[in-house]
A and B are shown apart, each in its own frame.
Chain A
């Protein structure tokens, strides 16, 4: 066995240039694949996280049908006892009540349709970290009768902190909803859409405005981890009447985003597939050359008494060692780059920012350094060499030793 390893190892370095070229091509393919996947997966999880943490939460409880028909009449009250049970469900971190609807916001001169988010400020902040988005003024508290206005909306309405806004809408069951609210602060929201049309108001005030005391459009849940979603949903469904309520997962609430990610992902996998195809032909070429130029040598070894399986082991070991070296090289050049971009996400500037914002994307590109990113690429290369390996092995078992010797 030692001899076999020794022969295999030395064979790798027999044609140094070819070995280096092979290793380098695998290494760069791995590098590109890992970096590409790293950015993509990083971006995807960032988008999901944003969607979840800035709005949907991991799980939401709604009145049945609300998600498809977001209407002020589709709201609900919930039994305090049930709400307590939801709160004490395992892995539920925060329970976030909301009452949201639409209204016309007016300053007298300018009027605009806006989303009115009735929130429980402190709890909302626990999940969305809203306080970090504060631009001017102060954050609202539970019993305030004032509002927060999104930055671009404030500009559009030409209002500042301490100015007063009129909100006008229709309330629960067709009542008239109207109110006068001083602006307590201006918030800068991550997506342009939200930034142009959102007003936050303490939930009690929202319930007053819409004549919907103790009613909610949603109870959003923040969980310890995305992995707890399914468990939490099935736990909740035990005591929440599913004829009356929907218990939705973040995936259900972010279907469009997930579809977009899936499409993008598929496109990228095709590109990486093409890259690997090129690499596969390169590896196959090396293996073909390496096999065919050694047929005489193989014939001599078999002639003098080396069993074919042992000879096959030499060649297989050569390819395994070559692959391991190449994978190791590929990972060791991409890991530092990955770690760097993980810690220092690329920040876009100038025009790109607007472009990205208009797609509801954050203008920064974080990198995923998940083991998965590396493992999949290493696995792909391994499968390619495994396939390439069959050529010399079959050749060794089927070759004609005599013609190899005459060769």
Chain B
């Protein structure tokens, strides 16, 4: 069953002097439980593609269906709710709300979903334990290393029980130890909870961990390999 169906999407930026075809005709389906890396040179359109899948940016043409919902038809506030309930996000850095502790950051997304207190509490602790931060629950983001912050972000992304997690270069700012720790955690969650992950990366070691590798260049998919 595919979670994401993308039909011939394009994204053209026209505010620039010469129009930029950041994404130029992409067809793609992502199945439940896949662990997919999107790779390609800088400027190839990875971020743009992920942003469109995540409903942060509208395609210039084509359509994106997530579990039977055509997201381009949603109003902007419905789209925010849709993201809250269906998509987990991990960005490259500064993902967390700086004034909240690790625990509160994870709880935050569930409180937006109006999940009841007891459930939030249980889930938060177990998520933070599963990313190896059971002992740092009350730390503020500034008291955590970059790798630890990214792990909290992963825990937060999963807290809302999304359909899939989008991670745009989640390891770009991490050293190799933190990178492999984060990857292991994502793999583990992928296996245990059958969580779908789509992440972009420049890092060959990250690419090696992926089960499916999509390569794009100039806004087009040039290869799509399943291992």
Q: Which A residues have a C-beta under 8 Å from some C-beta of B?
A: 2-3, 6-7, 10-11, 14, 296-297, 300-308, 310, 401-402, 405-406
Q: Nearest B residue to A400 by beta-carbon distance?
A: B57
Q: Chain A residues near B97 (CB, 8 Å)?
A: 7, 297, 300-301
* Pair A308/B94 contact, Cβ less than 8 Å: no
Contact A402 to B57, CB < 8 A, known contacts A305-B81, A307-B80: yes
B215 interface residue per 8 A CB criterion:
no
Least CB distance, A150 to chain B, in whole angstroms: 72
Q: Could you pull out 23 A-B pairs where Cβ atoms are within 8 angstroms?
A: A2-B111, A3-B104, A11-B99, A297-B98, A300-B94, A300-B97, A302-B80, A303-B56, A303-B83, A303-B89, A304-B88, A305-B80, A305-B84, A305-B85, A305-B109, A305-B112, A306-B84, A307-B80, A307-B81, A310-B112, A401-B56, A402-B56, A405-B91
Known: A300-B94, A304-B156, A305-B160. A402 touches B51 (CB 8 A): yes
Chain A, residue nearest B109 (CB): A304
- A14 and B98 form a contact (CB under 8 A): yes
Q: Which residue of chain B has the shortest Cβ distance to A304 in the bound complex?
A: B89
* 6 other A-B residue contacts (CB within 8 Å) besides A7-B100, A305-B160: A6-B100, A303-B54, A305-B81, A310-B112, A402-B51, A402-B57
Complex alpha-carbon distance, A376 and B81, angstroms: 42
Check B108 against A3 for contact (C-beta < 8 Å).
yes
Asked if B77 is an interface residue, CB under 8 A from chain A, the answer is yes
Measured between beta carbons, the chain A residues less than 8 angstroms from B88 are 304
Residue of B56, B109, B111 near A405 (CB, 8 A) is B56
Q: Which residue of A lies closest to B48 (CB)?
A: A402
CB distance from A35 to the nearest CB of B (A): 36
Q: B130 contacts which chain A residues (CB < 8 A)?
A: none
Looking at A302, A308, A405, the one whose CB has the most chain B CB atoms below 10 A away is: A405
The minimal Cβ–Cβ distance linking B98 to chain A, given in whole angstroms, is 7
For the complex, would chain A's binding face be called helix, strand, loop or mixed by DSSP majority? Answer: helix
Q: Which residue of A lies closest to B107 (CB)?
A: A3
Contact residues in A for B190 (Cβ distance below 8 Å): none
Q: Is B65 close to A, CB under 8 A?
A: no
Chain B residues closer than 8 Å to A11, beta-carbon distance: 99
C-alpha gap A297/B83 in the complex (Å): 17
What's the Cα separation between A306 and B81 when bound, in Å? 8
User: In this assembly, does B178 line the interface, its C-beta being within 8 Å of a C-beta of chain A?
Assistant: no
Q: Inside 8 A of A297's CB, which chain B residues have their CB?
A: 94, 97-98
Smallest CB separation, A319 vs chain B (Å): 16
Q: Which residue of A lies closest to B88 (CB)?
A: A304
Contacting residues, chain B, for A406 (C-beta < 8 A): 47
Residue of A nearest to B156 (CB): A304
Q: Residues of A contacting B95 with CB < 8 Å?
A: 300
Q: How far is the CA of A2 from the CA of B97 in the complex (A)?
A: 15
Instruction: Kindly report which residue of chain A lies nearest to residue B159, judged by CB atoms.
Output: A304
Interface centre among A10, A11, A300, A303 (most CB of B within 10 A): A303
In the assembled complex, the CB of A121 is this many whole angstroms from the nearest CB of chain B, namely: 74
Residue among A3, A302, A304 making CB contact with B111, cutoff 8 Å:
A3
- Given the interface pairs A3-B111, A300-B94, A402-B57, the reply to whether A308 lies near B80 with Cβ below 8 Å is yes
Q: Roughly how many angstroms separate A143 CA and B22 CA in the complex, as a whole number?
A: 108
Collect the chain B residues with CB atoms within 8 Å of residue A401's CB.
56
Report how far A182 CA is from B86 CA in the complex, Å: 104
Given contacts A11-B99, A304-B89, contact A296 B94 (CB under 8 A): yes
Q: Which of A7, A305, A308, A402 contacts B83 (CB 8 A)?
A: A305
Q: Is the CB of A300 within 8 A of B91?
A: yes
- Among B54, B57, B99, residue most surrounded by chain A Cβ atoms (within 10 Å): B99
Chain B residues whose CB sits within 8 angstroms of the CB of A10 once the complex forms: 99-100
Is the beta-carbon distance between A14 and B99 smaller than 8 angstroms?
yes
CB distance from B82 to the nearest CB of A (A): 8
Closest Cβ of chain B to A342, distance in Å, is 42
Q: In whole angstroms, what is the CA distance A401 to B160 when docked?
A: 20
Residues of B close to A301: CB separation below 8 A: 97
Complex Cα–Cα for A92 and B81 (A) = 70
Taking the nearest CB of chain B, how far is it from the CB of A298, in angstroms?
A: 10
Which among B77, B108, B109, B157 has the greatest number of chain A C-beta atoms within 10 A?
B108
Using Cβ atoms and an 8 Å threshold, which residues of chain B touch A3? Answer: 104, 107-108, 111
Closest to B111 in A: A3
Least Cβ distance of A353 to chain B in Å? 58
CA distance A361 to B77 in the complex (A): 65
> What mask results when residues 56 to 68 of chain B are scored 1 for a CB within 8 Å of chain A, else 0?
1100000000000
Q: How far is the CB of A89 from chain B (nearest CB, A)?
A: 66
Instruction: Report the 10 A-B pairs with minimum CB-CB distance, sorted nearest first.
Output: A305-B84, A10-B99, A305-B83, A3-B111, A402-B57, A304-B89, A402-B56, A307-B80, A303-B89, A11-B99
Contacts of B157 in A (CB 8 A): 304
Question: Which residues in A have their C-beta under 8 angstroms from that of B156?
Answer: 304
CA distance A306 to B77 in the complex (A): 9
